[in-house]
Structure 1
Amino acid sequence: MEKSHDEVREALHTFQKNEKHYSEQKFWDKLKKFGKKAGSSVVYAVLLLYYTLQKPEVPTKTKTIIIGALGYFILPLDLIPDFAVGVGFTDDLGALGIALLQVAMYIDDDIKLKAKTKLKEWFGDSVDTSDVDKKLG
């Protein structure tokens, strides 16, 4: 589903507010605790952003978007609390999707490979990432 310019602007503002919640330790703690519950699509999106953040050539403005989106993911009480059964990570996936679209030009095959390798460690070989990959182009 396409996001309007206002929705994207609002999401970017939300990312800026939530970047203070990001730390590498909190990131890995959240993934370890909730990765299986969040599902492979959310985890793949998060890993793509994380590995893109690690690239030195990614501009600071783009890194700010990534840190804000990951900060939103880390927050336990966001728009839809993560502990809400069945829907807790729906808003996270939406926010992560917007961030992915904003930084897609920096997501290369190496980043996808790193994310898929980590994803397979947690979810096994049968993980399908095609939905997220199609959106990235």
Structure 2
Amino acid sequence: MVAWNDASELREAALGRQISLTAFAERERQIRRDFWAKLKRFAGRVPFVDDLVAAYYCALDPATPMRVRGMLLAALAYFILPFDLIPDMIAGLGFADD
């Protein structure tokens, strides 16, 4: 299983550089599996819920260019990941880095 725990991989995806189709597919599955649960858990505290939902649907739309999908999947994965520069549980600041 490919994990989004390598900062260099996240950076590469965010910059639209080539990542393997296997890694891309695994990340997409991870987003599909974990996105809604995390959003439901923090929806009342995230000021950009509408943007996250729009990014989710755009990232999973096959009509979206691959480079854009890669960037959106990287951003959504960062939202889903349990580690952050600023932990999500810190009131008022937790989602500042998301």
TM-score calculated relative to the size of structure 1: 0.50
Q: Which has the higher helix share?
A: 1
CA RMSD of aligned residues (A): 2.4
Deviation at 1:79, TM superposition (A): 1.0
* Partner Cα separation in structure 1 for residue 54 and residue 12 of structure 2: 20
> In 1, Cα distance between the equivalents of 2:92 and 2:62?
37
Count, aligned residues? 78
Cα deviation digits, residues 31-56 of structure 1 (max 9, x gap): 011111213xx211101101212322
Equivalent pair of 1:15/1:69 in contact (CA under 8 Å): no
- Among 26, 33, 39, the alignment partner of 1:25 is 33
> Counterparts of 1:53 and 1:29 in 2: how far apart (Å)?
17
Identify unmatched segments of 5+ residues in structure 1. Answer: 1-9, 93-137
Identity %: 37
Runs ≥4 in structure 1, deviation > 3 angstroms?
Answer: 19-22
Which residue of structure 1 lines up, in the alignment, with residue 81 of structure 2? 75
Q: Distance in 1 between matches of 2:41 and 2:64?
A: 28
Structure number with larger C-alpha Rg = 1
- Matched with 2:11 is 13
